[in-house]
Structure 1
Amino acid sequence: MNYNKIRLYGAGGHAQIIKSILIHNGISVTDVFDDDPALSHHNFDKIIISTRKEVNGFPHKGDPFIIAIGDNKQRYQVSKFLKSEYSKAIHGSAIIDSSVKIGQGTVVYAGAAIQPNTTVGKHVIINTLASVDHDNIIEDFVHISPNATLCGLVEIGEGTHVGAGAVIIPEIKVGKWCVIGAGAVIIRDVPDFSIVVGNPGKVIKMNTDF
């Protein structure tokens, strides 16, 4: 469903980019919510500082949300309490094949490319100039960072963060809630909860943050 009014939960730098995408697409931002008073000066006309419980009771209930938070764990947590429909934000310069499936709440930044038969889950971030090749499966709450490259037939598990400039070669499966370091080159499957760095990528420890 297409919407012309969107609400944001989150008021940091990621939210500012989403706002820019929405304006580029002719969509207005009606409300911006956050629970951090330190963000009240950011580039928005008004930020509603509220508890996570209060946000569900505000007006404009018909307007869908985008969870405008870059951190995967926080985006996941907000999705569990926020009672709303969700919309997508896809920049007009992104190249997305017509066969691609994209879940609600997902954002695709400027210059990103997503090739045929790829499935992108809910509340995913495909960041600036990221390249996602054919037949990829990207599960919910993933973040593909700027200039990262996913070759064909790659699978990325729920909540995983793929760092800026990382490369994942074809037919690799990366587990859930992993962290792939910036510039890493992944040439073998990655187990759940792994933190991987280097070229070739090596598991240096397990992600205990989730």
Structure 2
Amino acid sequence: MSENREVRLYGAGGHSQVIQSVLKQNGYTISDLFDDNPKNSHKLFKDVKHGVRSHKSNFPHQGVPFIIGVGDNYQRFEIAKILKSEFSKAIHKSAIIDPSVSIDDGTVVYAGSTIQTNASIGKHVIINTMSSVDHDSIIQDFVHISPNATICGLVNIGIGTHIGAGAVVIPQVKIGKWCIIGAGTVVLKDIPDYSVVVGNPGKIIKKNIIKNLVSA
């Protein structure tokens, strides 16, 4: 993370709570908290400010780095496009990360997670609680690896894809962009863009309707 010991947090829901906890354990202060719907913020959050979507002309883009504390991949993608700001990272102290791993800005790594040698983690990625990313895997921007998911070695996961809780992806599989891999799914072969996959073995059941919203 940057040397600045302050971070601004965008998002005031449950996901943001966990990021706040990680940051505080690492000695960081949350200087400001923003949300697109402050009235619907979690009860534990106070003094939540309006987000950039409703204050585009006078939003304070510059200043302390942001972390986008929003679990939904598409929403995180949209917010990151609008914010003209620097971004920080949040990595839990209990995470096991090989020194060879690269982790880009905006990414969060939660408690008990493991990222093995030569893995590459993109921007605004969520590596959730107790998940595992093995050697030489590439996790592209805005991906969410849910709790207890296992990503084996040499896997490539495309932008915006969501890997559900407890899912398993075997070695050398390529998963396309903006896919949804259901909880507990076992992925045994390559998955094309915008696929929704469930089951063991994983089967494509439909296309992700987000295809109509993104051009990434």
Please report the TM-score for the alignment, with normalisation by the length of structure 1.
Answer: 0.95
**What is the CA-CA distance between 1:83 and the residue it aligns to?**
1.1
Any conservation in 1 of the 2:11–2:69 contact (CA below 8 Å)?
yes
**What is the CA-CA distance between 1:43 and the residue it aligns to?**
1.6
How many residue pairs match? The answer is 210
Residues 101 and 156 from structure 1, CA distance in 2 versus in 1: closer, same or farther, beyond 3 angstroms? same
Corresponding residue of 1:36: 37
Residues 98 and 183 from structure 1, CA distance in 2 versus in 1: closer, same or farther, beyond 3 angstroms? same
Residues 137 and 157 from structure 1, CA distance in 2 versus in 1: closer, same or farther, beyond 3 angstroms? same
Per the alignment, in what secondary structure is the counterpart of residue 165 of structure 1? coil
1:137-169 deviation line (CA, Å, top 9, x unaligned): 000000000000001100000000000000000
Corresponding residue of 1:135: 136
Following the alignment from structure 2 to structure 1, what is the Cα–Cα distance between the partners of residues 178 and 159? Answer: 6
Per the alignment, in what secondary structure is the counterpart of residue 206 of structure 2? strand
Per the alignment, in what secondary structure is the counterpart of residue 66 of structure 1? strand
1:179-202 deviation line (CA, Å, top 9, x unaligned): 000000000000000000000000
Following the alignment from structure 1 to structure 2, what is the Cα–Cα distance between the partners of residues 117 and 139? Answer: 14
1:20-44 deviation line (CA, Å, top 9, x unaligned): 0000000000111011133245322
Following the alignment from structure 2 to structure 1, what is the Cα–Cα distance between the partners of residues 90 and 51? Answer: 24
Any conservation in 2 of the 1:8–1:66 contact (CA below 8 Å)?
yes
Residues 149 and 161 from structure 1, CA distance in 2 versus in 1: closer, same or farther, beyond 3 angstroms? same
Any conservation in 2 of the 1:11–1:42 contact (CA below 8 Å)?
no
Mean alpha-carbon deviation: is it higher for 53-62 or for 40-49?
Answer: 53-62
Q: Which consecutive unaligned segments of at least 5 residues does structure 1 have? A: none
Following the alignment from structure 1 to structure 2, what is the Cα–Cα distance between the partners of residues 48 and 155? Answer: 37
Any conservation in 1 of the 2:12–2:35 contact (CA below 8 Å)?
yes
Following the alignment from structure 1 to structure 2, what is the Cα–Cα distance between the partners of residues 14 and 56? Answer: 27
Please report the TM-score for the alignment, with normalisation by the length of structure 2.
Answer: 0.93
Corresponding residue of 2:20: 19
- Aligned residue identity for 1:133: D
**What is the CA-CA distance between 1:56 and the residue it aligns to?**
7.4
Give the fraction of aligned pairs with identical amino acids, expressed as a percent. 61
Q: Which consecutive unaligned segments of at least 5 residues does structure 2 have? A: 212-216
Any conservation in 2 of the 1:137–1:155 contact (CA below 8 Å)?
yes
Following the alignment from structure 2 to structure 1, what is the Cα–Cα distance between the partners of residues 42 and 71? Answer: 19
**What is the CA-CA distance between 1:18 and the residue it aligns to?**
0.4
Per the alignment, in what secondary structure is the counterpart of residue 87 of structure 2? coil
Following the alignment from structure 1 to structure 2, what is the Cα–Cα distance between the partners of residues 146 and 41? Answer: 21
- Aligned residue identity for 2:36: D
Following the alignment from structure 1 to structure 2, what is the Cα–Cα distance between the partners of residues 29 and 180? Answer: 33
Corresponding residue of 1:161: 162
Any conservation in 2 of the 1:18–1:68 contact (CA below 8 Å)?
yes
Mapping of residues 97-112 of structure 1, within 5 Å: 97-112=98-113
Q: CA-atom RMSD, angstroms?
A: 1.5
Corresponding residue of 2:87: 86
Corresponding residue of 1:95: 96
